[in-house]
A and B are shown apart, each in its own frame.
Chain A
Amino acid sequence: MNKTFDTPAALTPAGSSRRRFLQRAAVTSGAFTLGFNIPASDAAADPAGGTATEVNAWVVVHADDRVMIRIARAEMGQGTLTGLAQLVAEELECDWARVGFELVKPGVNRSRNRIWRDMGTGGSRGIRGSHDYVRQAGAAARSMLVQAAAARWGARAAACTVERGVITHVPSGRTLRYGQVASAANKLPVPADLALKNPKDWKIAGTSVKRIDTADKLDGSLVYGMDFRLPGMLVALPKACPVHGGKLVSFDAKAVATLPGVRQVLRVDDETVAVVADTLWRAKKALDALPVVWDEGPSARVSSASIAAQFRGGLTGDTPFVGNRAGDARAVLSKARRVIEADYGTPFQNHAPMEPLAATVRWTRERCDVWAPTQVAEQALDTVASAAGLPATACEVHPMRIGGSFGRRLATDYLAMAVRIARQVPDTPIKMMWTREEDMAQGRFHPVTQCRLRASLDGAGQLEALHMRISGQSITAYVRPAAMTANGDPFIFQGLIPDSAEGHFAYAVPNLLIDHAMHNPHIRPGYWRGVNTNQNAIYSECFMDEVAHAAGQDPYEFRRRHMAASPKHLAVLDAVAKRAGWGTPAAPGVFRGIAQFMGFGSYTAAVAEVSVVDGQLRVLRIVAATDPGHVVNPQQVEAQVAGSFAYGLSAALFGECTVKDGRIEQKNFDTYNVVRLRDMPKVEVIVMPSGGFWGGVGEPTIAVAAPAVLNAVFAATGKRVRNLPLKNTDLAKA
């Protein structure tokens, strides 16, 4: 496939003319694009286009027995692509070594009556939201292939067995391969409601097979959105008003018009200007030199301090919005002889995926095609159609594998922007790219919140009352206002509500009040890996530690005494305590912290081991456990859990986006530092699926990263760090 790079035709042979070089480069990039990058679901759906046959919507079988499994959910590193293929292949009984994949396009999904169902990939739903129907699809395809073989033999399907893509007629011993009967199978009706295997009988699913999307990531041949090319393509670099909600007043295009490569300077929308040029670097130089006048608006006066002051007002007083209530916490606390109280706060975070935002658009009067990564392909199609001024049937989004996303591409702002640019350069493919600096300024930020926690203990040292008042920003209010209730944003209480399969509060407290006062600053929020479980776990799990300490009890044992009604939460907590040797002495200078939380349908817990020497914190070891109900690929779950700690610890140790003069101050990784290999602890993962439910994997464990470490920091230093990130606290000071 990757012939371009084996014989790098894009490089000029010594002595050849520049003209010839350009011709070769254009030919190469065209061939590259057509031969390699455009997902083949259309072509493969057309048997005339080759030797591949669609058995049903999910399964394409080639004459040489290769099986292409269609993937409708987005792959951004989380491994869903491989997991879904495993589930289909398990029921299909094909040869796993010959499984490949194709990415479904939303326009095709829609034209086929949404046969691939939901393409949205967020909330750790990729597997748990589609395991049943993808397994059905695999089972249906198997049934059709077996029926086709049986028909050829004039035998009963019940007399046939199938193993690794080979169908055997048991009485006669005759065999046929999937590739030999695929086109006959294609003509049969698709059966529904077939019996699925019991997960305990799985041979492909449930095992640690390797990912099927790795090879082209190792030699540079995978074409990400940033890398995509079309013949004659130009590059567009946008810049939006750095104060969210501010306006673009004017720009002086003439000042940069004669710079090399510059083709056009244009107004994208009310708040964005873009330079179109022939290469990224030429576009960037022109954009940097472009005089722009902004109307920054009233938000230009906002700072992190002014936001914090506003939120502090929400820590007291009444609010109508309650997430969890038992007894009368306020009354009990008002009479308590001793109230344990603490205020916590967490800052804005940027997703900062390694691949900055990019999208390639070809707009004509009749049609608009977009090649771009997205987590929400179907909404992306609507966004594109709307921005293109065309019916959705005249548009298509060609999804691509994503260079990290973590929630950023649940928003479609960048796609609308790319189309608005391309519409002003008709018939010319335009690749819009964001610089890292633009990505830092125009993120969809993990929201900023504060929390005041107040608790009292009864005579036996049990929690008698707990009031947890969250004050701060709602993602839902900005992203999905239709999902707001009359009183507020129910999603704000992730993991803190009673009796929820998605994530419920583990602790029995006779007088409990968890409520929210909403304040929404102008910084645009978005869903960031783990979403509200991040701060909710920090608040509740660090405070449980504080209360345990106040009660003179071990923080693990104190938690256990409140978890009798939460056996699955307790099981993961016990698992990490046991593995980490909780209750036994750690190595000299090593201190432990513990936390548990439930989110995205899975139970999680962690023990962190840290050292603090001369104020220098080192996170040495994490023992993490997760119970996601069922596990499709244990080694990929392990990879996701370890990765969630890298992401969660990046925020806990270093990450904060601060606001000054209405704009985000951090511009790049030099000021928005993240965990690197030097900082990464050893992560031991206990994967303990208990069956009976399907929980998520990509996000749940991030919630316990920060609180386990913060509690360990207290154990090491006696210091409660209540405002993140940790870098802002001098741990050397007593």
Chain B
Amino acid sequence: MAQLNINSRVANTDAEADTPLLWVLRDHLGLTGTKYGCGVAQCGACTVHVDGAALRSCVVPVSAIPATAKVVTIEGLGDTRLKVVQQAWAELDVSQCGYCQPGMIMAAAALLAQNSKPSEDEIRDGITNICRCGTYPRVLAAVQLAARRLADRSAA
């Protein structure tokens, strides 16, 4: 039985130790906002935050997540940065099919936490998630918009 801290709540799971965090979230805890896309850490649809950093949850066994680590999923509303990113996404109508977007948004929020004023190149290198619909131009614009918004907030 593993104990996890997910979206500021304690969760217990009977999943086997080698079960990837992704499948614990989805199958054991019912948090399906974190998506399966590849299972080999290529596409980033499964991106969550662990102690603030982006993590591809499909290749990390649940046993590698300490009970003290703070896991935040796309459902973890309340994070201001995450909300600002989601708002930027909505304003620019970024999503097409939407399947990759929770992972994309989690990656963007983590990038902005690390680097509040990323250059275009830093965004292009920092977000390596796959979107088959090709929302990339608007992803780029939304990250830039969110960065400006967050800067305005901290200046205010």
Contact = CB atoms under 8 A, between A and B. Distances in A.
A18 B12 contact: yes
Interface in A335-372: 352-356
Nearest to A635: B93
A354 B130 contact: yes
A4 B29 CA distance: 11
A435 B39 CA distance: 8
B131 A235 contact: no
Interface in B69-84: 73-75, 77
Contacts of A676: 128-130, 136
Interface in B39-81: 39-40, 42-43, 45, 73-75, 77
25 contacts: A5-B75, A8-B9, A8-B75, A12-B12, A29-B30, A217-B98, A220-B33, A220-B73, A220-B74, A226-B35, A281-B15, A281-B23, A356-B36, A404-B96, A635-B93, A642-B136, A642-B138, A643-B134, A643-B135, A647-B133, A674-B130, A676-B129, A677-B136, A682-B137, A683-B137
B148 interface: no
A220 to B, nearest CB: 2
Interface in A629-660: 635-636, 639, 642-647, 650
A25 B24 CA distance: 13
Nearest to A9: B30
B89 A220 contact: no
Contact of B10 (A13, A224, A401): A13
Interface of A: 4-6, 8, 10-14, 18, 21, 25, 28-29, 32, 76-79, 210-211, 213-224, 226-227, 229, 235, 260, 279-282, 352-356, 401-406, 435-437, 635-636, 639, 642-647, 650, 668-670, 674-678, 680, 682-683
Contact of A678 (B29, B128, B137): B128
A118 B29 CA distance: 39
Nearest to A529: B132
Interface string B10-46: 1110111001100100111111111111111011010
B125 interface: yes
B18 to A, nearest CB: 8
B134 A642 contact: yes
Contacts of B135: 639, 643
Nearest to A402: B97
A677 B75 contact: no
Interface of B: 1, 6-7, 9-12, 14-16, 19-20, 23, 26-40, 42-43, 45, 73-75, 77, 86, 89-90, 93, 95-102, 105, 123-125, 127-140
Contact of A221 (B33, B133, B136): B33
Contact of A279 (B23, B43, B101, B102): B23
Candidate in B15, B33, B95, B98 with the most chain A CB atoms within 10 angstroms:
B98
A214 B134 contact: no
Nearest to B39: A436
B100 A354 contact: yes
A227 B34 CA distance: 10
Contacts of A683: 137
Given A280-B26, A677-B123, A436 B137 contact: no
A222 B137 contact: no
A646 B45 contact: no
A646 B9 contact: no
